[in-house]
């Protein structure tokens, strides 16, 4: 019976961290989504204000179904805010909307890491879907060329996760700076936003660590099988 020691030692801890991060972000969002901001401004209004202050007038803001499904689509130039953010005047809603607006500002100012991440999307989709399958298949059938192709493809997906980190951190930094500069929230409210965004950042860190650990696992397994 084969026991995957590498999975237990490398991947499981990062998966546990991912679960903890998910609990933290949901808890922080739930807490601050119940606290109305002093200016009674919704997520949609906050995003519109911040884009206007930064000279962005070609990005549409629209609602999207789901919870924490907020995202900026650089291809369509659309800022999509979830139902709990779009029309809600809460601290959490303003913070999340400001973070996503940070991505729109990155796009408008040609922020390098965002452009690189966008080009890596197809590579990440293919690599994450087929890379591990090809690598494991190559290991099982003792086909080194297949192992190498699988690992190379998955490495492209891992690079995407790594590039995502500065993109997300920068968007949160921009969000907090703009909210402070424009006096959208009070210092106490900004503290709540920071907690929500910090918890969200941990989910990206956990995802990157899981991807790196999974890649390292594939490499170590392949090396052991070749001996």
Task: Give the active site residue among 62, 83, 100, 182.
Answer: 100
**114 class by beta-carbon count within 10 Å (0-12 exposed, 13-18 middle, 19+ buried):** buried
DSSP state for residue 131 in the 8-state scheme: H
Evaluate whether 193 touches 180 at the Cβ level (below 8 Å). Answer: no
* Dmax (CA) of the chain: 66
Query: Helices 187-226 and 144-181: crossing angle, nearest 10°?
Result: 170
CA distances from 38 to 31, 42, 190 (A): 16, 11, 11
The yes-or-no answer on residue 100 being catalytic is: yes
Which residues are known to be catalytic? 100
């Amino acid at each position: 019976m084969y026991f995957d020691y590498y999975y237990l030692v490398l991947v499981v801890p990062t998966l546990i961290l991912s679960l903890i991060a998910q609990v933290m972000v949901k808890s922080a969002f739930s807490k601050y989504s119940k606290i109305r901001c002093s200016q009674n401004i919704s997520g949609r209004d906050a995003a519109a204000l911040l884009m206007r202050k930064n000279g962005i007038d070609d990005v549409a803001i629209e609602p999207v179904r789901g919870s924490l499904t907020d995202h900026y689509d650089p291809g369509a130039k659309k800022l999509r805010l979830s139902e709990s953010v779009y029309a809600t005047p809460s601290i959490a809603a303003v913070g999340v909307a400001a973070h996503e607006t940070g991505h729109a500002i990155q796009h408008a100012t040609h922020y390098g890491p965002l452009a690189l991440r966008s080009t890596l999307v197809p590579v990440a989709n293919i690599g994450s879907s087929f890379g591990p399958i090809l690598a494991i298949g190559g290991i099982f059938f003792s086909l080194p060329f297949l192992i190498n192709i699988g690992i190379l493809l998955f490495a492209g997906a891992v690079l995407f996760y790594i590039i995502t980190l500065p993109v997300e951190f920068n968007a949160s930094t921009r969000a907090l700076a703009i909210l402070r500069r424009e006096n959208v929230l009070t210092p106490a409210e900004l503290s709540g936003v920071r907690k929500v965004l910090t918890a969200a950042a941990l989910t990206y860190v956990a995802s990157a660590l899981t991807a790196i650990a999974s890649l390292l696992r594939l490499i170590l397994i392949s090396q052991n099988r070749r001996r």
